[in-house]
Chains A and B, each alone.
Chain A
Amino acid sequence: AQTVTQSQPEMSVQEAETVTLSCTYDTSENNYYLFWYKQPPSRQMILVIRQEAYKQQNATENRFSVNFQKAAKSFSLKISDSQLGDTAMYFCAFRDFGNEKLTFGTGTRLTIIP
């Protein structure tokens, strides 16, 4: 069974700074997807970014980028120029090709300090 580990329960950073959230996962599969979801205080789950395991290039979405290290089974999220609206819980999630369910990590609570 796949597992996803987020070792940072809480982080805080000053507005406009850069922050990196860590995620590691364990799988025997070769083809899979990785995701970062954001859950603001409203509780809505919002997809931030996704990465296909077969792609070597790291995904980027505006201020959000990932560092995907397949051999190390590591998938970190970098938020540049952090904004107050980035304050939220961030969940790392895994899905393999043959299975549509998402397996989530325990989350990192990120606070952006004005």
Chain B
Amino acid sequence: DSGVTQTPKHLITATGQRVTLRCSPRSGDLSVYWYQQSLDQGLQFLIQYYNGEERAKGNILERFSAQQFPDLHSELNLSSLELGDSALYFCASSDSGQYNEQFFGPGTRLTVL
């Protein structure tokens, strides 16, 4: 158990819908990262937040957005869902140590029908 929690574990929805994925980082970790794992794109970095502020952005679609709240939990919002958005979405958190080692949550499996 990495200490990072994600809810829900599974999500099934229809095209055009909007969903919210939630992540709670390890206690004390200020950074949260979101990654998408899909069959065709592999594991891709989406976005990073540090103590409530966006720090880095990767290949995140405009239909996707994220935020980090004062209690440091983070939410990833996916809207106007398409079939191709079906993927495993990981949240990771890191400490402020030398390596900024990222600890991954169990992921949320999103299926868009």
**Residues of A participating in the B interface, judged by any CB pair closer than 8 Å:** 33, 37, 42-47, 50, 52, 91, 95, 99-107
Contacts and interface: CB of A to CB of B under 8 A. Distances in A.
B110 to A, nearest CB: 13
Contact of A43 (B45, B48, B103, B107): B107
B88 interface: yes
Contacts of A101: 33, 45, 48, 56, 58
A107 B43 CA distance: 9
A101 B55 CA distance: 10
Interface of B: 2, 31, 33, 35, 42-45, 48, 55-56, 58, 88, 90, 92, 94, 99-104, 106-107, 109
Contacts of B99: 33, 50, 52
9 contacts: A43-B88, A44-B2, A100-B48, A101-B33, A101-B48, A102-B33, A102-B45, A104-B43, A105-B42
Given A45-B104, A47-B101, A50-B99, A104 B33 contact: no
A103 B45 contact: yes
Given A44-B2, A45-B104, A106-B42, 10 more contacts: A33-B99, A43-B88, A44-B106, A44-B107, A47-B103, A99-B56, A100-B48, A100-B94, A102-B45, A107-B43
A107 B42 contact: yes
A104 B33 CA distance: 14
Nearest to B104: A45
